[in-house]
Structure 1
Amino acid sequence: MTDNRVIVRPPNKASGIALLLAIILCAMAFSLTWFVYTSFRIDVGSGEIAILTRKIGKDLKNGEEIAPTPEHKGIQREVLTEGRYFRNPYTWSWEVVKQVEVASGEMGVKVSLTGDDLGYGEFLAHVDEKGEPTTKGIVPGVLNPGRYPIHPYLYAVEIHKPITIPAGFKGVVTNLAAPLAKDSNKLLVEKNERGVQTTALEPGTHYVNPYVTRIDLVDCRSQRFNLGQEDDMGFPSKDGFWVSLDGVIEFRVNPEKAAEVYVLFNQQENGPTIDAEIVQTIIMPNARSFCRLQGSNSSGREFIQGETRSAFQKAFETEMRKACEPLGIEIIQALITTIRPPEKIAEPVRRREISKQEELQYKQQVLQQESEQKLAVEKAMVEQKQSLVTADRDVVKVTTKAAEEQQVALTLANQQLAVAQLKLEASLDESRAIEARGKAAADVVRFDNEAEAAGWQTAVQAFSGDGQAYARYVLYQKLSSAWQRMMVNTADSPMMKILDSFTEPIGRTLAVQPPVTAPAVADPPAGPAAAP
């Protein structure tokens, strides 16, 4: 018999200890692995960079701030961009910072913080063939809108606004960092020389380094200036009277000479704008000079008259253009709006001028009446000529129409005559044909009658020339087919009496003459058969 009992043995202490040790070792290994993983891991997120600093290695020289190579201690030049990296925390330390971001509508300027110091007067960093700066200072060029992984210990980034040149303006370019010009007496310099450049920028948005290039706006649009805006604009006349005037000058800067005008007339106390300088140094001096020189050649009363005013106005505009255009200022128009002579001479001269104007007006009215009279006569003559031309045209038109109608009627009559002749000839031909057909039909009828008459004559001769007997024979032939229907049972019927009247002559005739067979002829016409 089999023993199925389970034997329970006490637990082995050695196996439990081993299991516990294994669990502890696994936990320690996991903890160590996790510690190493988290301690060695560098997570660089989107839009970030990691700056590495080496703790051990070669020492830096005096004056060095950044490790020149990865084997040196200190902050490393290379940065870690987005991603996951592993570094030994006992050898390295790191710092995660945001990348430099240049927003839309802005630009960035890099400033090198490391390298050799610049010489006296220099502010732009020197760069090598790869474009990397080798000295401290402002790095040429700009950063356009975007995101850049720039090392913050190597470079500082300044945010600036780009230069926007509106429509109607020109951008005068001044190079601030190029070598000095060879010819220092020139207003404008060449492209790669320091100073104001010859070529100006067109309207638009320009991304330029403000430490390298300065752009000043010059308004090239049309502008107006009132001559009497600041003070009394006047001049002494030839006879010593003071004549005041007012006017408007419309001008603009020549876009082709914007840089030259800016250099000549820009004043530091007024800032970058040159409009006030143009008015004070060009417009007003030339206007005063012309008015005083030209106005002193005429007396005060002459400026009341229209001819002198018109001549003064034309000469003023012409002289202003000649004086301003060589300086780069275009005069669009120069108008003298008001000329005010002294009232002592203005009133009597004005009355006299009014009288002259009225006299001229009356003369003009007389001339106008005479002209209207001549015009009326000429108009009547023209209308008469037009009527004659119209009558002649109507006569020609009627005559031509009558001739055309006559020609049409003549042509139509000739056509009708030709048609009538053709119809006459056709009628003659048709009458001849009818006559021929009539003769032929008459001959046919005559021949038929003669043939029929010959047949009757021969038939009558068969009855011994008795036509009445032949007629009775023909009647019997016609009635023989219907004889049975006409017969009746009684011999005393009226029909039998009628027939009896024909029997005796026929019997006698047949007894005397031998029977003769009559020729087969067609049914005779009613006329000849009815004749005895």
Structure 2
Amino acid sequence: GKKAPKPALRKEEQKSEDISNVFVLDQFVEFPSKDGFEISLDMTVEFELLPKNIAWIYRSYGDLPAVVDKIIMPQILSVSRMKGSAYGAKDFIVGEGREKFQNDLTEALDRVLNERKIKIHGALIRHVNVPMQILDPIQQASLAIETDLTNKEKQNTAKKQAELNTELSMIQQRGEQVAQETEKMKAEIQAEQEKQVAEINADTLKQTALIEKTIAEVKAEKTKRMGKAEADAFKLVEGEKAVGSQLKVKAFNDPMAYNLWTFANTLNPDIKIRVVHAGDGTLWTDLDKTQFGNVGGAKLLQEKK
């Protein structure tokens, strides 16, 4: 078979205080698969020599190139062949099988080399060479699967888009329905408010009418009572006056005397009495001598003259 190229070794930058000597080994490995196909892997192995173990490693195996040639490379080839022969060629092409092989290889290398005080951090498969007689059908099948998955995904996307459009349409319809219901509610609220205002106004007018009616009734009752009170007072006063007059008449013991007394009380205090002496039939002519010559019959006699 082909001779494997010499591995390339490089030192990684220090990652922490506890990891001071981390190296990366790039190696090309060949082995037969479970189904008899020749498989070649381009892999990168990351390993570490702990400071506390370096002296022992150098005494046991020599310097770093010697450690790689005597210990690490043989174990990589041995473990790769052992683990790789348990996988079919297809497993190194399909992602899941390839990842599983990579994890198994890392765990096995770490377990074996840890006994020699060498720490394995990881084994990364970068490239796999598989014979075209199996690679092409697998790639075609994978392509068909990917195409089918793509078509299904497109169908799902179209379905989701249709569902989304339906949802958006329903949301829009619901929005319009909500807007209509809102306008309806606003109209109902406004109508209810107007109804309440009208009822309040009607009730106010009714209450006002009742109050005015009550006021009118109170005024009428007041007028009635005031009239009755005035009539009763007038009746009482006049009755008392009548009683007083009766007492006065009774005091005079003669109605005519009472009348004369009343007449005398009603005369003007400034009245003057004159006695005119006249003969028979000369009263009117003698009135000229008095201040009554211009009144009554005396005035008529004067006009005839």
TM-score (norm 2): 0.50
Distance in 2 between residues matched to 1:330 and 1:284, nearest whole Å? 14
Q: By how many angstroms is 1:316 displaced?
A: 1.8
| Alignment equivalent of 2:40, drawn from 235, 244, 248 | 244
Determine the structure 2 residue equivalent to 1:336: 125
| Alignment equivalent of 2:16, drawn from 158, 168, 171 | 168
Distance in 1 between residues matched to 2:122 and 2:15, nearest whole Å? 22
| Alignment equivalent of 2:105, drawn from 313, 316, 340 | 316
Q: Is 1:292–2:292 an aligned residue pair? A: no
Q: Deviations over 1:211-246 (max 9, x none)?
A: xxxxxxxxx147341232xxx433344576654322
Query: Do the aligned residues in 2 keep the contact of 1:290 with 1:316 (CA within 8 Å)?
Result: yes
Q: Deviations over 1:14-39 (max 9, x none)?
A: xxxxxxxxxxxxxxxxxxxxxxxxxx
Q: By how many angstroms is 1:387 displaced?
A: 4.9
Determine the structure 2 residue equivalent to 1:405: 190
Cα distance 1:278–1:420, how it changes in 2: closer, same or farther (>3 A)? farther
Q: By how many angstroms is 1:267 displaced?
A: 3.1
Query: Do the aligned residues in 1 keep the contact of 2:49 with 2:118 (CA within 8 Å)?
Result: yes
Give the number of equivalent residue pairs.
217
Determine the structure 2 residue equivalent to 1:378: 163
Cα distance 1:386–1:236, how it changes in 2: closer, same or farther (>3 A)? same
State the AA in 1 paired with 2:164: K
Cα distance 1:277–1:395, how it changes in 2: closer, same or farther (>3 A)? farther
Distance in 1 between residues matched to 2:15 and 2:90, nearest whole Å? 47
| Alignment equivalent of 2:26, drawn from 227, 248, 253 | 227
Q: By how many angstroms is 1:390 displaced?
A: 4.1
Distance in 2 between residues matched to 1:383 and 1:235, nearest whole Å? 58
Q: Deviations over 1:128-181 (max 9, x none)?
A: xxxxxxxxxxxxxxxxxxxxxxxxxxxxxxxxxxxxxx99346xxxxxxxxxxx
1:374-453 to 2 correspondences below 5 Å: 374-383=159-168, 385-387=170-172, 389-390=174-175, 393-394=178-179, 396-425=181-210
In structure 2, the gaps of 5 or more residues are 1-13, 227-267, 269-289, 293-305
Distance in 2 between residues matched to 1:408 and 1:378, nearest whole Å? 43
> 1 or 2, which has the higher strand percentage?
1
1:292 is paired with a residue whose SS is: helix
Determine the structure 2 residue equivalent to 1:482: none
**Seq. identity, %:** 18
Distance in 2 between residues matched to 1:168 and 1:369, nearest whole Å? 47
Cα distance 1:241–1:382, how it changes in 2: closer, same or farther (>3 A)? closer
Query: Do the aligned residues in 2 keep the contact of 1:304 with 1:349 (CA within 8 Å)?
Result: no
1:144-163 to 2 correspondences below 5 Å: none
Cα distance 1:408–1:325, how it changes in 2: closer, same or farther (>3 A)? farther
Q: By how many angstroms is 1:306 displaced?
A: 4.8
State the AA in 1 paired with 2:16: G
1:267 is paired with a residue whose SS is: helix
Q: Deviations over 1:265-297 (max 9, x none)?
A: 2438968xxx66765566434322211112234
1:168 is paired with a residue whose SS is: coil
State the AA in 2 paired with 1:226: L
Query: Do the aligned residues in 2 keep the contact of 1:320 with 1:331 (CA within 8 Å)?
Result: yes
Distance in 2 between residues matched to 1:289 and 1:252, nearest whole Å? 20
Distance in 1 between residues matched to 2:91 and 2:61, nearest whole Å? 43
Distance in 1 between residues matched to 2:175 and 2:21, nearest whole Å? 60
State the AA in 2 paired with 1:362: T
Cα distance 1:286–1:268, how it changes in 2: closer, same or farther (>3 A)? closer
1:414 is paired with a residue whose SS is: helix
Query: Do the aligned residues in 2 keep the contact of 1:265 with 1:277 (CA within 8 Å)?
Result: no
State the AA in 2 paired with 1:288: L
Q: By how many angstroms is 1:375 displaced?
A: 2.9
Distance in 1 between residues matched to 2:150 and 2:42, nearest whole Å? 34
Q: Deviations over 1:321-363 (max 9, x none)?
A: 443456665544321112234xxx33x4443334323322432
Query: Do the aligned residues in 2 keep the contact of 1:169 with 1:221 (CA within 8 Å)?
Result: yes
1:413 is paired with a residue whose SS is: helix
Cα distance 1:168–1:368, how it changes in 2: closer, same or farther (>3 A)? closer
Query: Do the aligned residues in 2 keep the contact of 1:224 with 1:248 (CA within 8 Å)?
Result: no
| Alignment equivalent of 1:368, drawn from 153, 178, 181 | 153
Q: By how many angstroms is 1:398 displaced?
A: 4.4
What do you get for the CA RMSD once the two structures are aligned? 4.7
Determine the structure 1 residue equivalent to 2:10: none
Determine the structure 1 residue equivalent to 2:241: none
Q: By how many angstroms is 1:318 displaced?
A: 3.0
Distance in 2 between residues matched to 1:167 and 1:304, nearest whole Å? 33
Q: By how many angstroms is 1:367 displaced?
A: 2.2
State the AA in 2 paired with 1:336: I
Query: Do the aligned residues in 2 keep the contact of 1:226 with 1:248 (CA within 8 Å)?
Result: yes
Distance in 2 between residues matched to 1:405 and 1:278, nearest whole Å? 94
Determine the structure 1 residue equivalent to 2:144: 359
Which structure has more relative contact order (CA 8 Å, sep 6+)? It is 2
Distance in 2 between residues matched to 1:294 and 1:387, nearest whole Å? 61
Distance in 1 between residues matched to 2:43 and 2:126, nearest whole Å? 5
1:483-522 to 2 correspondences below 5 Å: 512=291
